[in-house]
Structure 1
Amino acid sequence: MKLTRKVMLTVAAIVTAGSLASCSGTAAPTRSAIDEFPDKWDDEITIDVFDGLANYMGIQQGWFAKIVKDKFNMKLNIIAPNVAGGGDTLYNTRVAAGDLGDMIITDKGQKLDELVQGGLVMDVSDIYPAMDNAAEYDAAVQNLAGESGGIYAFPTSVSSLKPTEASEGLNPTFGPFIRWDLYKQLGYPELGTLEDLIPVLEQMHELEPTAPNGKPTYAFSLFKDWDGNMMNNAKQPATFYGYDEMGFVLAQADGSDYQSILDADSGYIRSLRLYFEANKLGLVDPESTTQNYDTLYSKFQNGQVMFSWWPWLGQTAYNTEDNMAAGKGFEIAPVADQKIFSYGAEAYGGKQVFAIGSKAEDPERIAAFIDWLYSPEGAYANSAQTQGSAGPQGLTWDLNAEGEPELTEFGNQVFLQGGGNVPEEWGGGDYADGVSALNAPSVLPVSVDPATGFPYSYTFWPSYQEATANALSEDWSAQMGGATSTMEYLQNADQITVAPGASYTAPADSSEIETLRNQVKAVIVQYSWQMVFATSDSQFDSLLKEMQDTAAGLGYDKVLEVDMANAKDQNDQRVAIAKEFG
C-alpha cells in the first residue's frame, strides 16, 4: 500500500521530533550485543503486532498461540488495519504517537524507509548474530539493510529457489479455469485462443443453464471490489499471455513488450471485448455491477459460474471432495496460444518485511520469535492454510515408515474434509481459528525442508497426491498428457513465462501524478464497465473513443510516461537478478 501524503507528513514530523530530541541530548537506549538467545523466558509478555496483512484483530488464539506461548512465553496482540477499517487513519494515529507496534509487518521500500527515518523501527544489528535461522537467508537480510548499514527489517517469503523458477507451486496465480465436467461433456473441443472460449462456454451454459440451487448460471460473473488503475477483471485475461500490470501499463514478464492499456489493440481492451461479446449472448451475470467478492465466491460454491481467472477462486470454492469424486470441478483449459504469467521466487524476499518497533521493551525475545519463523518448524507453522502449509509436525503431519512426510488422520480431516477440532494438548478450538494471524509467510511453502527433502507444502507430497486422486483429476490428467498438476502441464507445453523475482517496488507518485492518476483511473473504470454492458458494437466503439479522449484530456499520457519508466526499471532489475543468480 502506498504512503499517502498525510502519512508521509506524519512520519516527517516524527523525524523532526527525533532530530530535536537528539539535539537536546536524549540518547537512544543501548543494548549489549548477543550471540545466542536464552533457553527459556521466565516472564510472560504480550506484544502488539501491527500487521498490514492480517485479517484478524485481537489476541492470537489456538494452536499457533500455544506454540508461541510454549516457546517464548509470549502472546501476540494483532493490530490489523484491514479489520479495523480506515487503515491509513489507524496507521497515522500510531505513527503520530511514535509507537506503531512492538513487531511490525509492513511493505518494504518507501514505507519501510520512512519508518526507519522516523525512528519507529529498531536497528537490531547487535541481536542479529544470535539469529541463526535468519542468517540462512543473509543475502536477503543484507539487501534490505542497503546503504543504511543497520538491520532494521527481515524479509518474508524467502526461498532457496532461483528467481527464474516459478514460486507458486502446483498452480500458477493466474489461468483460464473452466468447469471441466461440462467441457468433457462437449467432447473436449479445441481452444486455439482466448476468444474460442466464447462458443464453448455458450455450449457449456446450454448443458447447465440452472445451478442445483435453482439459480441461473453464467459463464462470467464479475465484481468491482478490486478495481484500481483499471477494471480488475479485464486485466486478468492479459496474464494468460504473459502480461502483468504496472499502473496503466501491461508489461510482458520477459520484457519483450509494453502496452498502454488504452491502446485499441491492448490486452486490456481485448478483455473488454471478450466480456462484451459474451454479454451479447447472455453469458455475463447481470448482477456483476453490484455484487462483491464474497457474493461472487458463494456463487462459485453453488455452481452458478463456469469460468474462473484464478485457481484459488474456482477450485477452492467448488472443487469439494464430493464434487471431485463425481468428476465435477474447475481445471485449467488447454488454450493453445496461452503463455501464462508466473511470479518467480523473490531472490531477496517478498514485498512485506518483519521489523521490531523502536519502543519494544523486549526486542531480544521478539527477534528470537522472528528467527524461529525461518526455522523448518516455524515455516511449517506460520504459512497460511491456503498456501498449502502443513502445520505442526505431530498434529497435522508426521513422517511415515519410509521417512517421508504424510498427513496424519487429523491432517486429513483438516485439509481434505473441511476442518477439525484441535486436541486440547495442542491448544484446542477449531484448527482454522488457530492458524497464524500474521498472514505473512517467512519461507515460501514451495521451498524444500532440508530434513525431509520435500517442500513444506503438503500438496507436493506423494502421499497427498495419491490420497487425493479422484475422477476429476484423473480425467483431466488423461487429456493433458499425464500431467499431475497445472504447473507440470504448463511447463511441459511451454505455456508459462516466469518473471524473475527481483523484489521491485515502484517509487511513490509525485503529488501531481497522484492527482492525475486518481482522476484518470476513475474514468477508465467507469467506461470499462459501460463497455462490457454496451448494447451494440457501435456503442462499444463509441465508449472506447470517449474513454481514450477523456483520459487523454485529464493527463493520461503524463501518468503513462511514469508507469512506462517504472515497468522498464522493473525489467532491468529482473534481468540483473536473473544474471546474478545464474
Structure 2
Amino acid sequence: MSIKKKVTSAIAVGLAAAMTMSLAACGGNDTVADVEDNGELITVDVFDSLANYQGEQKGWFAKLIKDKFNIKLNIIAPNVAGGGTTLFDTRSAAGNLGDLIIYGYDNGQGERLVKANLLADMTPYLDGMDNIKKYQSAIDSMNETIGQESGVWGVPGSVSSRPPTDPSEGLEPTFGPYLRWDYYKAVGYPEISTLEDLIPVLKQMQDKARETEGSNDIYAMSLFKDWDGNMMNNAKQPTCFYGWDELGFVLAKADGSDYESITDEGGIYDRVIKFFNAAYRAGIVDPESTTQNYDTMNSKYKEGKILFSFWPWLGQAAYNTVENKEAGKGFMIAPLKDQKIFSYGAHPNGERQFIGIGSKCKYKQRLVKFIDWLYSPEGIYCSGAQTGGAAGPQGLNWELKDGEPVLTEFGSTVLNGGSANVPDEWGGGSYSDGVSALNYPTVVVNDIDPDTGYSFNASMWPSELEKANNYALNKDWSEFMGGYSTTMEYLEANNMIDVAPGASYVTPNEDSKITTLRGSIKTEIVNASWQASFAESEAECDKIMATMRDTVKGLGIDEVLDVDMKNAKDQQAAREQIVKDYAAEHGSDE
C-alpha cells in the first residue's frame, strides 16, 4: 500500500521531463502499425506500476493465457526494480513504455502519456470486444480526465456494476475497530459506548491476555510510522470510525455534511490524538510503536501479541486462521455504539488506474482481445484469484452444484491461506506462485457474475458463509451481536455505515508554492502528533498540539487549507453527480 504509493509518486515527479524527452524521441505520432499476426507465441512486455513481481509470469495463469492467446507476460515492475523514476524515464524517452501499460491516469499522468505517444488508441480493434464496451461510461470518464474528446486510450480498473451508493467492500468494511474477540469475551463483553470507552476495555483484555499466556510483551495497541503523510496515518484511522476520510489537511464526512482541518482544536483528529495519549498513559500501547515499521508490527499480530486492529485486513488477515477460528480465537468488529464507519462506494466508472496498449506494440489486436478477456467473468475470476479476492479458475478452485458455486477441496485450501500444488494439466507448481502477477483489479470482485448470479468473491457465496458461521469464533460473535451473520450485515442493519458515493474524482495538480508549504507543514503536524500521543500527561499533550497549531499557522497552513477545502467540496460535488448520472442511466440509484 504505502510502497506502491511512494513508487508511483516518485515516478510522477519525473513524468513531465520524461514526456518531453519522449516527444523528442518520437517526433510526433509514431504509433507502430500491427505486423501480420500468424498466431505465433509472443512475449508481451507489461509496464505495470501495480505489480509486486518482476519477470516472466509463471504457473497456472501463465498456462491459461498461453493456451488462450499464445502469449507470455514479461512484467516490468517499478515497485520491484527500485529507482522507479529512472526506469520510467529510460523507457519513455525511447518512446516505448511497454506493449501493455498498467498505470494511473490521475494527476495529469494519463494526459501526458497520450501526448507523448506512449499509448495507442484501441478504437480500431474493438469490433466484437463486448466486455470492454460494457464499460464505455468508465472510458468516457477517463477521457474527460485526460483531456481527450474521443478514442479509447485505456480501460479503467476496479469498475463496478453496482450503484455508487452501495459499499464497495464485501463482508468487512475497509476500516473499523477490530479486537481480539476471545479476550473481549474473557473479560465479560463490557459495553463500549464511545471511542474513549475502548481504553479501559482494552486494558482489561491486555491484563487477561498476559495472565493467560504468561507473557508481558502483549499489548492492546501497536502503531507504526512508515505510512505517515499529511498527518499521522494511525491517527487518521479512528476518524474513519465516525464517517471521516482525508483529503490533504482536510477531513471530510462521507455524506458531505461537514469538513474539518486536522489542526482544529477539539476536532476529530485532535480527539484521536488525545485517545492515543490516554491509551499510552494507561500502559496499553506497544513501546516499540515509535521505531517499528509495518512489517515488524504485522508479525506481532501473527504471533497474537496485539489485541486491537484499525482494519480487518490487518488483524483478521494476520491472525484469523482456520485453526484459531475453530478454537474461538480471532479479531472481530467491536460493538462500538456510536460508530458510523466510512465506506467507499462502488465505482461505476472505476478508479484511477487503467490498462492500455503501448504505441509500439506490434500485435495490438491480440492484446485488445486479452484485455477484453480480463474484463470477462472468466478473466475476473482468474486474474483476481488471490487470498481474499476472486474465486479463481472454474474446474480447479470451484464448480457448480445444483446451480450454485461451491469451492473444491483444492480451492478451499488455497483461498484460505493454505499451500498446494496445481495439477499438471493446469500448469503444475505452487498455486500461489501461479497467481496473476499483474495485480490489476479489472472489476470489483464483490460484483455479481452474470452467469451464476453470485459474487466473484467466494467468501460471499452461501456455501462459504455457512462454513464461516460454523466456526466457534463467528458463532460467539453472532450470538452476542444479535444474530447477524456478517459485519456488513450488522453495520447496515444498525445504521452504522456511511457510504461515500464512488466517484472517479481526481485532485488537480497544485501550485508549486502550495506543495512547498505543505511539505514543511505536514512535518510539523506529524512530529507533534507522535510527541503528543506519547506525552507523559494530558496537559503536556494539549500543550504540544497547541504549539503545533501556532507553528503551522505561521507557516501558512490557511493558504493550503483553502486549496484542500475546495478540493474536498469538489470531490463531494463529483460524488453527488455520479449518483445523479447513475440514476439517469439506470432509472434509480437503488
| Coarse TM-score class (shorter-chain normalised) | over 0.9
Distance 2:20 2:141 in 1: 24
- TM-score w.r.t. the length of structure 2 is 0.93
Distance 2:30 2:300 in 1: 59
Secondary structure of the corresponding residue to residue 250 of structure 1: strand
1:8 maps to which of 3, 11, 16: 16
Alignment of 1:125-164 (within 5 A): 125-146=123-144, 147-164=148-165
Return the letter of the residue paired with 2:489: E
CA contact (8 A) 1:161 1:345 kept: yes
Distance 1:287 1:406 in 2: 44
Return the letter of the residue paired with 1:93: T
Closer, same or farther: CA 28–328 of 1 in aligned 2, 3 Å: closer
Secondary structure of the corresponding residue to residue 342 of structure 1: strand
Name the counterpart of 1:349.
350
CA contact (8 A) 2:178 2:310 kept: yes
Distance 2:333 2:288 in 1: 25
Name the counterpart of 1:367.
368
CA contact (8 A) 2:387 2:414 kept: no
Q: Does 1:115 align with 2:113?
A: yes
1:54-86 deviations in Å (ceiling 9; x for gaps):
111111111111111111111111111111122
Distance 1:388 1:213 in 2: 37
Name the counterpart of 2:415.
415
Return the letter of the residue paired with 2:57: Q
Shift of 1:208: 0.9
Closer, same or farther: CA 346–310 of 1 in aligned 2, 3 Å: same
Secondary structure of the corresponding residue to residue 75 of structure 2: strand
CA contact (8 A) 1:212 1:303 kept: no
Distance 1:358 1:30 in 2: 9
Secondary structure of the corresponding residue to residue 46 of structure 1: strand
Distance 1:397 1:464 in 2: 12
**Where do 5+ consecutive residues of structure 1 fail to align?**
none
Return the letter of the residue paired with 1:66: K
Q: Paired residues, what number?
A: 570
Q: Does 1:405 align with 2:414?
A: no
2:72 maps to which of 75, 80, 104: 75
Distance 2:555 2:431 in 1: 51
Secondary structure of the corresponding residue to residue 133 of structure 1: helix
Farther off after superposition, 115-124 or 86-95: 86-95
1:439-488 deviations in Å (ceiling 9; x for gaps):
11111111111111100000011111122320000111111221111111
Distance 1:386 1:108 in 2: 27
Closer, same or farther: CA 211–382 of 1 in aligned 2, 3 Å: farther
CA contact (8 A) 1:520 1:551 kept: yes
Distance 2:329 2:13 in 1: 50
Distance 1:80 1:269 in 2: 39
Closer, same or farther: CA 258–125 of 1 in aligned 2, 3 Å: same
Alignment of 1:179-328 (within 5 A): 179-209=180-210, 214=215, 216-328=217-329
Secondary structure of the corresponding residue to residue 489 of structure 2: helix
Name the counterpart of 1:56.
53
Closer, same or farther: CA 391–4 of 1 in aligned 2, 3 Å: closer
Closer, same or farther: CA 73–212 of 1 in aligned 2, 3 Å: farther
Distance 1:97 1:515 in 2: 32
Return the letter of the residue paired with 1:94: R
Closer, same or farther: CA 207–365 of 1 in aligned 2, 3 Å: same
Closer, same or farther: CA 380–4 of 1 in aligned 2, 3 Å: closer
- TM-score w.r.t. the length of structure 1 is 0.95
Distance 1:211 1:53 in 2: 43
Distance 1:423 1:246 in 2: 47
Secondary structure of the corresponding residue to residue 297 of structure 1: helix
Return the letter of the residue paired with 1:101: G
Shift of 1:4: 4.2
Shift of 1:410: 0.5
CA contact (8 A) 1:53 1:438 kept: yes
Distance 1:92 1:270 in 2: 44
Secondary structure of the corresponding residue to residue 123 of structure 2: coil
Shift of 1:29: 4.2
Shift of 1:174: 0.4
Return the letter of the residue paired with 1:115: L
CA contact (8 A) 1:211 1:304 kept: no
Closer, same or farther: CA 375–5 of 1 in aligned 2, 3 Å: closer
Name the counterpart of 1:445.
445
Secondary structure of the corresponding residue to residue 345 of structure 1: coil
CA contact (8 A) 1:213 1:302 kept: no
CA contact (8 A) 1:384 1:441 kept: no
Secondary structure of the corresponding residue to residue 162 of structure 1: coil
Distance 2:271 2:495 in 1: 23
Alignment of 1:564-579 (within 5 A): 564-579=565-580
Shift of 1:303: 0.6
CA contact (8 A) 1:223 1:293 kept: yes
Return the letter of the residue paired with 2:381: Y
1:383-419 deviations in Å (ceiling 9; x for gaps):
151442100000010111x110000011112123622
Name the counterpart of 1:435.
435
Return the letter of the residue paired with 1:240: F
Farther off after superposition, 242-251 or 546-555: 546-555
Shift of 1:434: 1.0
Return the letter of the residue paired with 1:97: A
Secondary structure of the corresponding residue to residue 178 of structure 1: strand
Name the counterpart of 1:92.
89
CA contact (8 A) 1:447 1:455 kept: yes
Secondary structure of the corresponding residue to residue 549 of structure 1: helix
Q: Does 1:518 align with 2:503?
A: no
Distance 2:126 2:553 in 1: 51
Distance 1:319 1:182 in 2: 14
Percent of residue pairs identical: 53
Return the letter of the residue paired with 1:321: V
Closer, same or farther: CA 384–251 of 1 in aligned 2, 3 Å: farther
Secondary structure of the corresponding residue to residue 346 of structure 1: coil
CA contact (8 A) 2:342 2:499 kept: yes
Name the counterpart of 2:5.
none
CA contact (8 A) 1:215 1:304 kept: no
Return the letter of the residue paired with 2:204: Q
Shift of 1:549: 1.9
Secondary structure of the corresponding residue to residue 332 of structure 2: strand
Closer, same or farther: CA 278–368 of 1 in aligned 2, 3 Å: same
